[in-house]
Amino acid sequence: MEEKTYWFDVGRVSAVPLRGARTVRTPSREIAVFRTASNDIFALENKCPHKGGPLSEGIVHGRKVACPLHNWIINLEDGEATGADHGCAKKFPVKIERGHIYIDMGVLAPAE
Ligand code: FES
């Protein structure tokens, strides 16, 4: 099946705090948009793979975020838990154009 691509403008890079995140709501889920200290942008479902904690409220360090509930460390590049923990937050493709962040909403499937 051919995947559709639909890049949705979620606002300016500067609207996301450095080493922080902001959230974007869709009809089916909430997405956390992260900005690292080196200005890289990542988008993950705002739901920790452990017990659903809000990853957007975690501390960003390097290319990882620490979940605020039980401190699982989630890799921002692929959404995978690191270390001995296992699980994965859904990752969304992002691109930056003229200072704006676009998330590929074409990969959105109904929430399980
Ligand atoms: S809910 Fe994220 S570590 Fe437990």
The Å distance, Cα 84 to ligand 1 centre, comes to 13
Residue 26 falls within a domain, yes or no? yes
Say which CATH number the domain at 87 has.
2.102.10.10
Task: Spell out which residues line ligand 1, taking CB within 6 angstroms.
Answer: 48, 50-53, 67, 69-70, 72
Distances (CA, A) of 74 to 4, 38, 42, 56: 27, 18, 12, 11
Evaluate if residue 68 carries a pLDDT over 80: yes
Domain count for the chain, please give it.
Answer: 1
Sorting pLDDT into bands at 50, 70 and 90, what band is 3?
Answer: low
pLDDT band at 91 (very low <50, low <70, confident <90, very high): very high
Atom of ligand 1 nearest to the CA of 85: 3
User: Which domain range does residue 31 map to?
Assistant: 17-96
Nearest CA to ligand 1 atom 4: 70
Q: Are strands 94-97 and 100-104 parallel, antiparallel or unpaired?
A: antiparallel
Note whether residue 103 is domain-resident.
no
Mean pLDDT of all residues in 56-76 = 97
pLDDT at 19 exceeding the cut of 90? yes
